[in-house]
């Protein structure tokens, strides 16, 4: 049983290292010659893998057996890294959403709006809050 557990950890680390290499390689291609679609797909792949990893970390931190064997230093390292990632994500979201809002306002004012965009804007206005990004409540 303990060897099975250790093997699972080894496999997880091996998979994460492979993903690290894959994303590093993808980054070279997508930043130098990627078109808009490739940038969207790469970003979505990155977010999906982050979500998977974050869910696994969350499960890890809910396991009493794991927690009873992690030192304060281990947990402090996790918190400090999570905090840095959180700040970076929130800063990205604020920058991106603010920039998109400014661009959308400019397009609306100048009448240079894709008809599908206007349709979406109109539907969201009619449906109230639905146009906002949906965020789950924070639970502790």
What span, in angstroms and rounded, lies between the C-alpha atoms of 104 and 43? 21
Please report, in tens digits, the pLDDT of each residue of the chain (140 residues total).
Answer: 699 989 999 999 999 999 999 999 999 999 999 999 999 999 999 999 999 999 999 999 999 989 999 999 999 999 999 999 999 999 999 999 999 999 989 988 998 888 777 777 776 665 554 445 665 555 54
What span, in angstroms and rounded, lies between the C-alpha atoms of 125 and 132? 10
Other beta carbons within 10 angstroms of residue 82's beta carbon come to 13
The pLDDT value given to residue 130: 44
The pLDDT value given to residue 118: 74
The pLDDT value given to residue 136: 55
Is 90:84 a contact under the CB 8 Å cutoff? no
For the chain, the structural domain boundaries read 2-128
């Amino acid at each position: 049983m303990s060897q099975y557990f250790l093997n699972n950890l080894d496999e997880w680390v091996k998979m994460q290292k492979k993903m690290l290499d894959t994303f590093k390689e993808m980054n070279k291609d997508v930043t130098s010659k990627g078109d808009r679609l490739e940038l969207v797909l790469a970003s979505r792949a990155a977010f999906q893998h982050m979500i998977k990893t974050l869910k696994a970390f969350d499960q890890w931190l809910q396991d009493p057996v794991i927690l009873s064997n992690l030192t304060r230093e281990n947990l402090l390292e996790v918190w400090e890294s999570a905090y840095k990632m959180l700040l970076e994500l929130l800063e990205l979201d604020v920058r991106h959403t603010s920039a998109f809002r400014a661009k959308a306002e400019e397009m609306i004012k100048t009448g240079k709006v894709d008809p599908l965009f206007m349709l979406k804007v109109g539907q969201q206005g009619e449906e109230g809050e639905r146009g906002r990004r949906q965020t789950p409540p924070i639970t502790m």
